[in-house]
Copies of this chain bind each other. A is one copy, B any other.
Amino acid sequence: MNTLEVDINCDLGEGFGPYTIGDDDAMLDIVSSANVACGFHAGDPVIMDNVVRQAGLRGVDIGAHVGFDDRAGFGRRVIPLSHHEIETAVLYQLGALHAIATAAGHRVTHMSFHGALGNQSFVDPDLARVLVQATRAFDPALSILVIPETELERATERAGMRTVRTFLADRAYDATGRLVSRRIAHALIENVDEIAARITQMITEGTVRSIEGDLLKMSHECILVHGDTPRAVEIARTVRTTVERLGARVAPISKKDGQPRIPAK
């Protein structure tokens, strides 16, 4: 029987010039894949290069973490763009990371849409299609990180591209499988024991309990951890330890192509 394989993924490279967010190198010791900010909502060429090289040394997958061109708002504000503006902005960021990775002897394996752009892609089918088609026009072999049951997942599947369904270990889900807004109490799970318990349930039973108490099916493909919170490194270590204690193997998406997938639903 195959060993279960789980990707642990994190947004990294979110500093800028003199500014730092999170500890990229420490997180790269724990995760198996990283989404690299591409200089629009965060990141800059030097920081991108560092994350790419450190990831390469550790066998960590890298993806383009693409967002709105809005450093002041950290990509969390919706900037009203035409589809053509979004399409070209996606290609621009993806290509920038691709070149830095190529020069470093590494390669981009996936895409991840940040902040307000990501949130829109979950509910707006036209935008989701634009994001997927722009990615596909550059490289149809790229995977796309998705929240299950969203327009982005549907658009990715429709385009015949590979989805990576992410599970957020430290965020509450509602009964429909959506993330509970951070403004709601208990949306953020900060207790490491509770996080470990959720991961255990997700891996052994393929489920997670919603904030209302319902049981939801959940894929174990990819656990997303945060790199920008004060206890990020500690939580990420808990996640990894928990996964490994359950007998699963932490491996980047690109290394587990042959593995049978558990449907999200």
A residues bordering B, Cβ < 8 Å? 15-21, 39, 42, 44-46, 48-49, 69-74, 77-81, 84-85, 87-89, 91-100, 102-103, 134, 137-139
Contacts and interface: CB of A to CB of B under 8 A. Distances in A.
B92 A45 contact: yes
Nearest to A20: B19
23 contacts: A15-B19, A16-B19, A16-B71, A17-B71, A18-B42, A39-B92, A45-B89, A45-B91, A46-B84, A46-B85, A48-B92, A77-B79, A91-B100, A92-B96, A92-B99, A93-B96, A95-B99, A98-B99, A99-B138, A102-B137, A102-B138, A102-B139, A103-B134
Contacts of A17: 71-74
A255 B80 CA distance: 41
Contacts of A44: 72
A135 to B, nearest CB: 9
Contacts of A79: 70, 73, 77, 79
A97 to B, nearest CB: 7
